[in-house]
A and B are shown apart, each in its own frame.
Chain A
């Protein structure tokens, strides 16, 4: 009696474990396959784009299409670099993107903190107003914003593209949502210990919000780096143009100089890729709950 009872579960268990491990395997393999498929799906056009930038103009559209350049050349890059003041546009864009990003992160963190941790009726109304600004597309507020910038004397200044972009509802919202998850006890404990409001914010709240800061920084940098129509309208002096204006000028009314455009585009995405490579480590590994006990 004892033997069969002992065997029966063993027999039953063996196929059961096999099924789960096979199931796990299938699940892992299929998940990995899907991931790799996605990588190929996203990576292939990018790879084609980068490889095409090394093709001479005559090879770009020649049939049959080839992935690898037959006669690799950097002529497109050279022409892009010399056709307009690339270095200066690059610097301008960098100045704008970095200063806006820094200011955006500071302003969003402060407003987000205030909106989450101070309760006041007008703060709530203010928050709704900030959110409402996301409902208006840029084109709608283009003319009014332009008039404001002009009257402030920021027309044809780099500051004219920095100042209007500092406050973003998205940034404020991100910080507000994050700070509302931080327990009030932490704040109260700091107050009891005699920490002033500013030092509580700077020394306790900001460090735990690091992942949000870095995420917003990456977004903000990318937005400002790719901005086109606003800088085009505000800036008049070619010595203040940003990179996107330069790149867009390669696209003519009737035809496009593809080999130059490809070279210029590849150069222009390099800083974004670098920024992402540097910061993604922090974003991915940061523990949002660090320093908190629920």
Chain B
């Protein structure tokens, strides 16, 4: 009995030993190089976390090289996948290893208290950052400046329009109404044998553009801290739901997750309502037909949905705090910012820049020019979606799960009325923000 007990102990000790040795060996081989997080305490290296395609990381790489040449501080760029970026920032805040600078998808109340004030950069007279795009908190601090802005917009299959002999406007100042556009698209579809008139991104942001251009206000954050919608929103949404009839628009995009980008690329759809970020993708990903950016229809309001691309933040990590702030300052200096915007194909947050995008394709260049005009002409309501989000963050609240997609899908499927969908959207959002 005693013999069996000792040997049992030996087995346990042996297994423990093996696991521990393995773990230690691994820990050993892992600790060769320097720290990856920002809290390394070494002011000559700072880290920048962002989530971007390879093409859009290039602009930041260039910026980092120039920053190193000027200040001697190395900027390590970490491209974090978009799916999981928020979670990673939260956990990093717990581990006390936040990056020094980040281009975050949104602000998180968990780490906003560790941010540095960017007010001097945002309000600088030389930078001319559009004052609509950042907000001061109650303490007068500006916690984030957007790296770029995005706008929703329309793309059409030019080859199909040409084949059908149907014309389309090219100047946003003389745009068409949704009725005109849909009539033209139907004509093109019937003449060319295409499958659908339009595919429309399944997104709470894109549906805002539909609502605003029809003269309604949609879902807005009121002074009482609650979301509400105006009476005009219901018939406008009803019209959108009715268009999902598998002829004008395929139901599958809003109800079962079909990819509108892929549908448009198939050449079987006359038009696609999405946003400026598609330009780079279409420039390389569409070779079977010609595409162009067309002005967003106005019925009668000239609007779009203006959003911020990424939110630039500088964390206060002690030793590296100053270098982090310096980097953000450097980035928004008009000369450097112009380079970044051109390289990454961004729409700028600063006004009065002379931009020349290094694209060779005329339709892509035209698209950027068109978007810039659209934004100039856009009704102020176009950026309310982004402002509401900023306001919530300043109040320490966030909408983690936007119910718009689900509720609209149910309305399109006939499971509920548009009125019920709108009521549910408001109710569910208000629940999440605790109002």
Contacts and interface: CB of A to CB of B under 8 A. Distances in A.
A87 interface: no
Contact of B37 (A147, A156, A239, A254): A156
A60 interface: yes
Contacts of B26: 99, 157-159, 162-163
A110 B15 contact: yes
Contacts of A60: 262, 265, 285
B247 interface: no
Interface string B267-309: 1100000010110010011111000000000000000000000
Interface in A230-288: 232-233, 235-240, 245, 248-255, 257-260
B281 A255 contact: yes
Contacts of B30: 156-160, 240
Interface string A80-105: 00011000000000000001001100
Contact of B88 (A83, A154, A166, A232): A232
Contacts of A157: 26-27, 30-31
B324 to A, nearest CB: 16
B14 interface: yes
Contacts of A118: 8
A15 B88 CA distance: 73
Q: How large is the interface on B (under 10, 10 to 19, 20 to 34, 35 or more residues)?
A: 35 or more
Contacts of A79: 54
B81 A158 contact: no
Nearest to A253: B82
B125 interface: no
B97 A158 contact: no
Contacts of B88: 232-233
Given A236-B78, A255-B261, A147 B22 contact: no
A196 B6 CA distance: 11
B4 A248 contact: no
A103 B11 contact: no
Contacts of A24: none
Contact of A56 (B12, B76, B287): B287
A61 B262 contact: yes
B82 A251 contact: yes
Contacts of A162: 22-23, 26
A107 interface: yes
B33 A57 contact: no
A257 B156 CA distance: 21
Contacts, number: 165
A253 B84 contact: no
B91 A237 contact: no
B35 A156 contact: yes
B4 A156 contact: no
B82 A252 contact: yes
B29 A158 contact: yes
Interface string B6-45: 0110111011001100110011011101011100000000
B105 interface: yes
B29 A197 contact: no
Given A236-B92, A237-B36, A240-B36, 5 more contacts: A62-B288, A113-B11, A201-B11, A237-B78, A249-B82
Interface of A: 56-63, 65, 79, 83-84, 99, 102-103, 106-107, 110-111, 113-114, 118, 143, 146-147, 150, 153-160, 162-163, 166, 196-198, 201, 228-229, 232-233, 235-240, 245, 248-255, 257-260
Interface of B: 4, 7-8, 10-12, 14-15, 18-19, 22-23, 26-27, 29-31, 33, 35-37, 47, 51-54, 76, 78-84, 87-88, 91-92, 94-95, 97, 105, 150, 261-263, 265-268, 275, 277-278, 281, 284-288
17 contacts: A79-B54, A106-B19, A107-B19, A114-B12, A147-B94, A155-B97, A159-B27, A232-B80, A232-B88, A233-B84, A239-B33, A248-B84, A249-B51, A252-B53, A255-B278, A255-B281, A258-B285
Closest 7 pairs (CB-CB, A-B): A237-B36, A58-B287, A197-B7, A236-B36, A157-B30, A248-B81, A159-B26
